[in-house]
C-alpha cells in the first residue's frame, strides 16, 4: 500500500471526504487528532463508519489510543468486531507492544486484522527498533513520527533552517526503515505536515522511496495523489528493471554484468525483481 490518509474519527465530514480521496488506506484516528473530551464519541463514530463503509474501497485502518492511556482496551473491544483491515498502535516502545495488542486481538476473534505501529514517538522507542522482528504474526508495517518525538525530547523544532529533519528525526526514520525490513514488514514513511507545500511533499516522498520505504502517510486529501504517483513505479523504472533482468539472462550463469557502463551484480538483480513483483501485485 502506497498512501495511508489519516482521518479524525470524530469528523463525519472528513470521513465522508476521505473515502473518495484515492488513498490505498484510510486511518480512522481515535488518538491525537481527537480531543480527550471526545474519545467516546469518536469511538462510536468509528464503529458506525466501519459497519457502513463500502469495503470495496480503500483499506480501513483504525488507530487506537496509546497503550499507556485508559482508552486502548475499550478501543479494541469496540472496533475489532467491526472488522477493520488493520489496527495502528501509536507510541509503541518495542515489539512487546505488538505482542500485547496482537494477543488481545486474537482473544477478541480478530480474524486476519493486521497491525501497524508508529514506532518512534518516545526517546526509549529508538533503542528497540530491532525487537519488532518476530513480535507477532499480525505485524504488517512500521511507520515513524517526528511530532510526538520532538515533544518528548523538549525540542523547539524537528527541522533546521533549510527544512530538513535534524539528527534525532533522521535517526528515527532510518531505524524505522531498518526495523521494518528486518521484521519482514512494510516500511512506511511518516507524515508531511505542511499540507499546502506540494513540492516539499513530493521531494520527501521521493527521498523515502529512494531509501526503501514502500508508502507514506498523508494528513490531507490533496497529498494522496502525489504520494500514489511517487510510489507507483513509472515506465522508466519498469523498463530499467526488465533490462537488468535481461542482461543477466543473456550473460548466462554469472554474478556480474555491465549495462550502459554501469556494473550490476546480484543485489541489483534482486532489486529489479522486487520492483517488478511489487508492480505486478499493485495491478
Shortest distance (Å) from residue 224 CB to ligand COA = 9
Q: Is 201 in the site for ligand COA (CB under 6 A)?
A: no
- Residue closer to ligand COA by CB (options 75, 131) is 75
Q: What is the DSSP string of the chain?
A: --EEEEEETT-HHHHHHHHTS--SEEEEESSTTS-GGGHHHHHHHHHHHHHHS-TTSSEEEEEPPPTTSSSHHHHHHHHGGG--SEEEESS--SHHHHHHHHHHHHHTT-TT-EEEEE--SSTGGGG-GGG-TTS-TTEEEEE--SHHHHHHHT-S-SB-TTS-B-HHHHHHHHHHHHHHHHHTSEEEE-----TT-HHHHHHHHHHHHHHT--EEEESSGGGHHHHHHHHSPPHHHHHHHHHHHHHHHHH-S-SEEEETTEEEEHHHHHHHHHHHHHHHHH-
- Residue closer to ligand COA by CB (options 151, 274) is 151
Among 1-9, 51-59, 122-130, 248-256, which window interacts with ligand COA (CB under 6 A)?
A: 1-9
Q: Is 206 in the site for ligand COA (CB under 6 A)?
A: no
- Residue closer to Mg ion by CB (options 37, 56) is 37
**Residue 179 site contact among ligand COA, Mg ion, none (CB < 5 to 8 Å, cut-off depends on kind):** none
Q: Is 90 in the site for ligand COA (CB under 6 A)?
A: no
Q: Is 257 in the site for ligand COA (CB under 6 A)?
A: no
Shortest distance (Å) from residue 121 CB to Mg ion = 6
- Residue closer to Mg ion by CB (options 25, 149) is 149
Interface contacts to ligand COA, rule CB under 6 A? 5-8, 13-14, 17-18, 29, 32-33, 191, 195, 219-221
Amino acid at each position: 500500500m502506497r498512501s495511508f490518509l489519516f482521518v479524525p474519527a470524530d469528523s463525519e465530514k472528513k470521513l465522508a471526504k476521505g473515502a473518495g480521496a484515492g488513498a490505498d488506506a484510510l486511518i480512522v484516528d481515535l488518538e491525537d487528532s481527537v480531543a480527550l473530551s471526545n474519545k467516546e464519541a469518536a469511538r462510536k463514530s468509528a464503529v458506525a463508519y466501519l459497519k457502513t463503509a463500502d469495503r470495496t474501497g480503500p483499506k480501513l485502518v483504525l488507530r487506537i489510543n496509546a497503550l499507556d492511556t485508559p482508552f486502548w482496551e475499550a478501543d479494541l473491544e469496540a472496533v475489532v468486531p467491526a472488522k477493520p483491515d488493520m489496527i495502528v498502535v501509536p507510541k509503541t516502545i518495542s515489539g512487546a507492544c505488538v505482542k500485547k495488542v496482537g494477543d488481545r486481538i486474537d482473544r477478541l476473534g480478530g480474524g486476519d486484522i493486521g497491525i501497524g505501529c508508529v514506532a518512534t514517538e518516545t526517546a526509549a522507542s529508538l533503542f528497540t527498533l530491532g525487537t519488532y522482528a518476530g513480535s507477532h504474526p499480525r505485524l504488517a508495517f512500521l511507520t515513524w513520527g517526528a511530532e510526538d518525538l520532538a515533544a518528548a525530547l523538549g525540542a523547539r523544532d524537528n527541522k533546521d533552517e533549510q527544512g530538513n529533519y535534524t539528527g534525532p528525526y533522521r535517526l528515527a526514520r532510518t531505524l524505522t526503515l531498518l526495523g521494518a525490513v528486518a521484521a519482514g514488514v512494510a516500511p512506511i514513511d511518516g507524515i508531511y505536515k505542511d499540507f499546502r507545500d506540494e513540492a516539499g511533499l513530493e521531494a520527501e516522498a521521493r527521498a523515502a522511496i529512494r531509501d526503501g520505504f514502500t508508502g507514506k502517510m498523508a494528513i490531507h486529501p490533496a497529498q494522496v495523489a502525489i504520494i500514489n504517483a511517487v510510489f507507483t513505479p513509472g515506465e522508466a523504472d519498469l523498463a530499467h528493471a526488465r533490462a537488468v533482468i535481461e542482461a543477466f539472462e543473456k550473460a548466462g550463469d554469472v554474478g556480474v554484468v555491465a549495462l550502459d557502463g554501469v556494473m550490476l551484480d546480484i543485489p541489483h538483480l534482486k532489486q529489479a525483481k522486487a520492483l517488478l513483483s511489487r508492480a505486478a501485485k499493485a495491478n
